[in-house]
Amino acid sequence: MAIEVFNRYENKYVFDDAAYRKLYAELLEYMEPDDHNKQHEFYSITNLYYDTPHNSLIRNSLSKPKYKEKLRLRAYGVPNQDTKVYLEIKKKVFGLVNKRRTTLKLHEAYDFVRTGQPPEYRDYMNKQVIEEIKYFLTCYDLEPKVYLSYDRKALFCKNNRDLRITFDTNIRSRRCDLQMEHGTYGELLLEPGQWLMEVKAEKTIPVWLSKMLSEHRMYRTSFSKYGNEYKKMIRNSQIETTESERVLYA
């Protein structure tokens, strides 16, 4: 059974392809690809983020509060209406990430968020998480806002399965056609050849990894895929407004 409750710290790094190749090769001395990557070089992750009409959740998140939360729908690959996906609440409190999710079929997840009414219980669902999401939906007037997909490589530590490192590239987003079953197309969020690495651990990272990151001059950064997409959308809107005013008053 897939793990449905996570508590961990996540540190993020952004770098180019050359830096990725050097670091990845060294990490293989201590880590091994997860089950998905043992079968394929990459696997695709697709997400649908929900927010209020005024983008309250992401705006609050970007203000860097001590507590923040969001709701998203996640699938591996491109799902269809009957594909099992994950509906999850992700919270962050003083740097500790808590993720709670339940398996649902795609059409069940769509209907649950749209109506606020949970689906009829099935054995693949997590009752407790469904109740938590039901309550979450009473707190916010949510609607689908952003589709995000990316190609991932993931590694687990050979001696400590609580340590996981993921590498995401080709991050794509769109704010139209918000149906996960319609494919992974979208606008690139990072420059071609850039990677987002996330180091995920329940406690502190091991000394060997800290030393390796220092030797490669890897420095932590604050990077939220949804947050950066929102900031990019705002910048583009401001540019379009300025251009429209320039044409209007030319």
Question: How would DSSP label each residue in 129-173?
Answer: HHHHHHHHHHHS--EEEEEEEEEEEEEEESS-TT-EEEEEEEEEE
pLDDT at 1: 47
Angle between helices 17-27 and 207-215 (to 10 degrees): 150
The reported pLDDT for the residue numbered 238 is: 81
Q: How many CB atoms lie within 10 A of CB 53?
A: 9
Identity (one letter) of the amino acid at 52? T
Q: Which domains does the chain have, with CATH numbers?
A: 5-249 (3.20.100.30)
The segments of the chain whose pLDDT lies below 50 read 1
**Per-residue pLDDT tens over the stretch 25-48:** 999 999 999 888 887 889 999 999
CB atoms within 10 A of CB 185: 10
In terms of pTM, does the model score above 0.85? Answer: yes
Q: Which helix (H) or strand (E) holds 82?
A: none
Question: What pLDDT, in 10s, does the model give residues 162-177?
Answer: 899 999 999 999 999 9
CA-based torsion, 109, 91, 193, 27: positive or negative: negative
pLDDT of res. 140: 96
What is the predicted pLDDT for the residue at 241? 63
Q: What are the phi and psi torsion angles at 223 (to 5°)?
A: -145, 110
Give pLDDT, residue 239.
Answer: 72
